[in-house]
Amino acid sequence: MDTSIIAVGTELLFGQVINSNAAYLSENLNHMGFNVMYHYVVGDNDGRLEQILRRALSDTDLVILTGGLGPTQDDMTKEVVAKVMEAPLYLDENCLADVKSYFKKRNREMAENNVRQAYMPKGAVIFRNEAGTAPAFAVSKDDKWVICYPGPPRELHWLFEDSGRDFLRRFMDKQLCYRVIRTIGIGESDLETVLMPLIDNQTDPTIATYAKEGECTIRVASQRDTMEEAEAAVEQKIEEIKGLVGSYVYSLDDEELNEVVVHKLRKKGLTLSSAESCTGGAFAASITDVPGASHVLNRGYITYDEEAKITMLGVDQTYIDQYSVVSAEVAKAMAKGARYEAGSDIAVSITGYAGPDADYGREPGNAFIGYACDDKVGAIELNTKRNDRKWNRNFFRLRMLMVVNDILDDME
Amino acid sequence: MDTSIIAVGTELLFGQVINSNAAYLSENLNHMGFNVMYHYVVGDNDGRLEQILRRALSDTDLVILTGGLGPTQDDMTKEVVAKVMEAPLYLDENCLADVKSYFKKRNREMAENNVRQAYMPKGAVIFRNEAGTAPAFAVSKDDKWVICYPGPPRELHWLFEDSGRDFLRRFMDKQLCYRVIRTIGIGESDLETVLMPLIDNQTDPTIATYAKEGECTIRVASQRDTMEEAEAAVEQKIEEIKGLVGSYVYSLDDEELNEVVVHKLRKKGLTLSSAESCTGGAFAASITDVPGASHVLNRGYITYDEEAKITMLGVDQTYIDQYSVVSAEVAKAMAKGARYEAGSDIAVSITGYAGPDADYGREPGNAFIGYACDDKVGAIELNTKRNDRKWNRNFFRLRMLMVVNDILDDME
C-alpha cells in the first residue's frame, strides 16, 4: 500500500527538531510491507497543510500525519483533516472523559483548551492515548485513509505499539521479510559493482546498498504470500551475496561492529584489553557502549605520550628510539604490554597520527594497530591519506574492532 | 526568500537513516534569514523526484536538494535537475581532475562509474568538495534557484561551511549576525522562564532556546542594514542574557564543552588525566577529539574492574570493602591515584552504574565523579534516575567535563 508521511510543526522547519517520527514510522511500516513513498514536513499553517494533504492523498492511498494535535491555537491538524476528509468534528464524550481523567490522575488542573483535544472527525476510528492527552484516530473516504498521531515521539511510539500496528495489519495482503547485512572494508561503488549481477535482475528479493561512515550495509527484502516464502527467498539471496562479498561481511543481523565483538567475546568467555594512543579512549568507549561490556573489557590504557607507553605498558625505550613511536614494532609492544598487564586473552593497540599534525616524516591518517593473543602477535599499517581528525579516529576505531573480530573468527 | 528542502534517498523512506540534513540546512538557513517552508523526502526514483522538484519550484524560489549525487545507478538527482532546469549535463574537466586526484591521493583505483560525478549541468556554479567525490552545484532558471549537495552529512557540512553560506548571502539584502550561547545545568523550560522578559518583547534581536542531550543552547540573532549594527545589537542582548543566566553559560562561541576545556588547559599550560569506570574511555575520547589534546592529556586509565582500580590507581582495597566500589571515597581515591601515577596537574575520575544493571542497592544512573588538583580533592554524586545506558554515559561524560571546567574557572 503506497503511503505518505506528513509531519506538522514549525520547529521542524526551524531545524530545532529532527524528524525522527518519519524515520520511526517508515521503519515500522516498511517492516510490515507498506511502501512509504514520500515524507513531507509543513509548518503550523492550515492552508499549506491542506495543500500538502490533498497532494499526498492524490498520490498515495494511506497518509499518516504526526503533530498538530495539541491544545493550543497553532494546532490545526484535526481541523484540516476534518475539512479534507469531509468528516466534521464532534465532541466525543469518551475522549473528553479520558482527557479529564488524565489530568485527575496527575492531580493537575485541566486547562479549558484541552477540551479541544476531545473533538473527533465524524466516523473516525479512535485510539486511546495513555501516554498523553491527544487521542490518535483514523478516518477514511473513497478508499483512502488518513491516520493522525500526536507529535511527541514518546506518545507516537506508545500509540503505535498499543494499537497502530494491529490496525494497519488490515491493509496488508502480502508478508514482508527483510535482513540487513553489514560490511566493512569495501566502498559502496565497489560493492555495487561486485553485486551488480544480483542487483540488475532484481524483482524480488530486492537488494539495496547504503554507505555510512567507514562501512556499507546491504538490505535484502522480499514480499510474498506467506512469511515462510519471504524468509526463504531472503535467505537464499543472502547466501548468494555471501558468495560474492562474504569476506567483508561482519554481521547478518544489522548489529554494530562493537556489539558483534562484545557478543563474540562473551560467547567464547574471553577478555580484552586496549592500549590507545591516537584514538585516546574511543575504542574502549565503543566497547563499553555495549551492555555487558564489563564481562569482557577489564582494563584500557590511554597512553598518549612516550613515557606513558613505557611506564604503563612496559614498552622498551630502545624500541621507540630505533623504530620511532609510530611503528609496527611499538604497536606490537603496546599490545603485548597491555595483554600482560591486564592479564587479558586478547589485547589490541594503536599508535599513529589522527591529524592535523604528524611527525617523523609521517602523514596524518598513518597509524599502526597492534594485536596480541595466545598464539600470535602482529601489527597492521593504516594509511587513510586524509587529514581529518574526526574521520581518521573513527576509521582507526572501526579497524581496531575489525582486527579483534578477525582474531575471534580465526579461533573458530 | 521562501525555500524548500528535498532529501533524496530510499534509505530515508525505509527509516534506516534520519533526515538530519534537512534539520542542519534548516537551522543554518533560518539563521541567515531564509524562510524554510517545506521539507520533502523522495526515494531514488526519477519520476517522483521530478514531480516533487517541479512542485517545490512552483511554491518557493529556492530549492536545496541533498543526496543522489553518488556514482551508482540509483543516483539520479543531477539528471532530474538538468531536465527540470533545462541545463544539459556536460563533462566538466576540472571536476574530473578533482575526482581523479581524490582517488590518487588515497592510493585508490577510481571506479569507472565515478566519472559520472564529474558531469555538471550547463551554466551551473560548481562548489569543490574536498570531503568527497561529488561536487555541489547551483543552477538557476527564471529567477528560481536549485542547489544540490551530496547526501553524506560530513560532505554536506564541509561544503556548506566552505562555500555554501557565502554563496547564499547573495540572496539576502539584510546583514545577519548571530551567536550561539551554550549552557549546561539548567533545563529548557526553566531557561525560557528566566529569559521570558527578553523573549517576550523580541523583534530584533531574536532569542531562541534549544535543548539537546544534557544541555541547552541560546541563539541570539539580529538582521540589520549593516553587519556592525547587527553585531552591536547581538552583543548587547548577550550581556542582558549573561545577567540572567550567566552562571550556567560555558561558551559564548558555540564551542563544545570538550573544546572549551582543552583550550583552557592549554592556555594555562596544565595537564589532565582521567580514571574511568562506567564511562569506559568516553571522557578521554572526548578530550582527545580536540586537536592539540596531546598537550594536555598524557594518560587515561580505564579501570572497569576492582582489581584494575587497585593495581593501576593504587586504590586501597579496604576503601572498596568499607564504602563499596561505587562511592565518593573510591571516586576520590581514583582521582588521587590517577593524578599521582600520571603526574598531571588535574585528575578526574568516575565510578558508577550506567545501566542496565546496578549493584549494592544502587540504581542505574547513580555515579560519583572524583577530582584532584593541587589544592583540593573531592567528589560529587550524580543520580539521573534513568535506566538508559547511552543517555547516562553521555550525561556522566558531560558532568566530568563540567567538573574540570569549574576547577579551571576557580583558578582564575
Contacts of A294 in chain B (CB under 8 A): 304-305
| CA distance, residue A260 to nearest chain B CA (Å) | 17
Q: What is the pLDDT of residue B198?
A: 86
Q: What is the pLDDT of residue B56?
A: 97
| CA distance, residue B301 to nearest chain A CA (Å) | 5
Q: Is A130 on the interface with B (CB under 8 A)?
A: no
Q: What is the pLDDT of residue A287?
A: 97
Parallel/antiparallel/unpaired status of strands B136-141 and B35-42: unpaired
Q: What is the pLDDT of residue A206?
A: 86
Q: Do B297 and A276 touch (CB under 8 A)?
A: no
Q: Do B274 and A302 touch (CB under 8 A)?
A: yes
Contacts of B55 in chain A (CB under 8 A): 55
| CA distance, residue B40 to nearest chain A CA (Å) | 5
* Mean pLDDT taken over chain A: 92
Query: Which of A29-33, A284-288, A388-392 ranks highest by mean pLDDT?
Result: A284-288
Provide the number of CB pairs (under 8 Å) joining chain A to chain B.
258
Q: Is the pLDDT of residue A238 over 90?
A: yes
Q: Is the pLDDT of residue B105 over 90?
A: no
On whether the CB atoms of residues A248 and A58 are closer than 8 A, the answer is no
Q: Do B285 and A280 touch (CB under 8 A)?
A: yes
Q: What is the pLDDT of residue B360?
A: 81
The angle subtended at Cα B129 by Cα B125 and Cα B131, nearest 5°, is 165
Q: Do B22 and A20 touch (CB under 8 A)?
A: no
Contacts of A391 in chain B (CB under 8 A): 154
Contacts of B291 in chain A (CB under 8 A): 355-357, 389
Q: Is the pLDDT of residue A412 over 80?
A: no
Q: Is B295 on the interface with A (CB under 8 A)?
A: no
Q: Is the pLDDT of residue A177 over 80?
A: yes
CA distance A26 to A160: 12
pLDDT band at B106 (very low <50, low <70, confident <90, very high): confident
B-contacting residues of A 328-387, CB under 8 Å?
Answer: 342, 355-357, 383-386
Q: Name which of B298, B295, B357 is nearest B326 in CA terms.
A: B357
Q: Is B140 on the interface with A (CB under 8 A)?
A: no
Q: Do A280 and B298 touch (CB under 8 A)?
A: no
Answer whether the bond into residue B205 is a cis peptide, omega within 30°. yes
Q: What is the pLDDT of residue A24?
A: 95
pLDDT band at B207 (very low <50, low <70, confident <90, very high): confident
Q: What is the pLDDT of residue A227?
A: 87
B-contacting residues of A 162-181, CB under 8 Å?
Answer: 180
Q: Is A304 on the interface with B (CB under 8 A)?
A: yes
pLDDT band at A154 (very low <50, low <70, confident <90, very high): confident
Q: Is the pLDDT of residue A181 over 90?
A: yes
Q: Is the pLDDT of residue A290 over 90?
A: yes
Q: Is A111 on the interface with B (CB under 8 A)?
A: no
Q: What is the pLDDT of residue A122?
A: 96
Q: Is the pLDDT of residue B31 over 90?
A: no
Q: What is the pLDDT of residue A42?
A: 96
Contacts of A276 in chain B (CB under 8 A): 281
* Mean pLDDT taken over chain B: 92
Q: Do A289 and B356 touch (CB under 8 A)?
A: no
Contacts of A27 in chain B (CB under 8 A): 14-16
Q: What is the pLDDT of residue A221?
A: 87
Q: Do B41 and A43 touch (CB under 8 A)?
A: no
Q: What is the pLDDT of residue A136?
A: 97
Q: Is the pLDDT of residue A401 over 90?
A: yes
Contacts of A42 in chain B (CB under 8 A): 37-38
For the segment B61-83, the average pLDDT, to the nearest whole number, is 93
For the segment A265-284, the average pLDDT, to the nearest whole number, is 96
Q: What is the pLDDT of residue B6?
A: 98
For the segment A121-148, the average pLDDT, to the nearest whole number, is 95
Q: Do A289 and B281 touch (CB under 8 A)?
A: no
Q: Is the pLDDT of residue A339 over 80?
A: yes
pLDDT above 90 as % of chain B: 69
Q: What does the pLDDT look like over B321-344, one tens digit per residue?
A: 999 999 999 999 999 999 999 999
User: Mutate which of B304, B344, B353 to disrupt the A interface (most A C-beta within 10 Å)?
Assistant: B304
SS3 readout for chain A: CEEEEEEECHHHHCCCCCCHHHHHHHHHHHHHCCEEEEEEEECCCHHHHHHHHHHHHHHCCEEEEECCCCCCCCCCHHHHHHHHCCCCEEECHHHHHHHHHHHHHCCCCCCHHHHHHHEEECCCEEECCCCCCCCEEEEEECCEEEEEECCCHHHHHHHHHHHHHHHHHHHCCCEEEEEEEEEECCCHHHHHHHHHHHHHCCCCCEEEEEEECCEEEEEEEEEECCHHHHHHHHHHHHHHHHHHHHHHEEECCCCCHHHHHHHHHHHHCCCEEEEECCCCCHHHHHHHCCCCHHHCEEEEEEECCHHHHHHHHCCCHHHHHHHCCCCHHHHHHHHHHHHHHHCCCEEEEEEECCCCCCCCCCCCCEEEEEEECCCCEEEEEEECCCCCHHHHHHHHHHHHHHHHHHHHHHCC
On whether the CB atoms of residues A148 and A137 are closer than 8 A, the answer is yes
Contacts of A60 in chain B (CB under 8 A): none
Nearest to A27 among B14, B291, B304 (CB): B14
Q: What is the pLDDT of residue A139?
A: 98
pLDDT band at B253 (very low <50, low <70, confident <90, very high): confident
For the segment A300-310, the average pLDDT, to the nearest whole number, is 93
Q: Do B15 and A26 touch (CB under 8 A)?
A: yes
| CA distance, residue A26 to nearest chain B CA (Å) | 5
Q: What does the pLDDT look like over A342-369, one tens digit per residue?
A: 999 999 999 999 998 888 888 999 999 9
More confident residue, B107 or B273: B273
Give residues with Cβ within 8 angstroms of A228, minimum separation 6: none
Integer CA distances (angstroms), B299 to A309, B19, B124, B239, in order: 9, 38, 51, 39
Q: What does the pLDDT look like over B148-161, one tens digit per residue?
A: 999 999 999 999 99
On whether the CB atoms of residues B330 and B353 are closer than 8 A, the answer is no
Contacts of B113 in chain A (CB under 8 A): 189, 193
CA distance B217 to B257: 12
Q: What is the pLDDT of residue A106?
A: 77
Q: Is the pLDDT of residue A174 over 90?
A: no
pLDDT band at B178 (very low <50, low <70, confident <90, very high): confident
Q: Is A1 on the interface with B (CB under 8 A)?
A: no
Q: What is the pLDDT of residue B332?
A: 98
Q: Name which of A18, A15, A9 is nearest A67 in CA terms.
A: A9
More confident residue, B314 or A72: B314
Q: What is the pLDDT of residue A133?
A: 87
For the segment B76-100, the average pLDDT, to the nearest whole number, is 95
Q: CB count, 10 Å around CB of B336?
A: 20
Q: What does the pLDDT look like over B345-358, one tens digit per residue?
A: 999 999 999 988 88
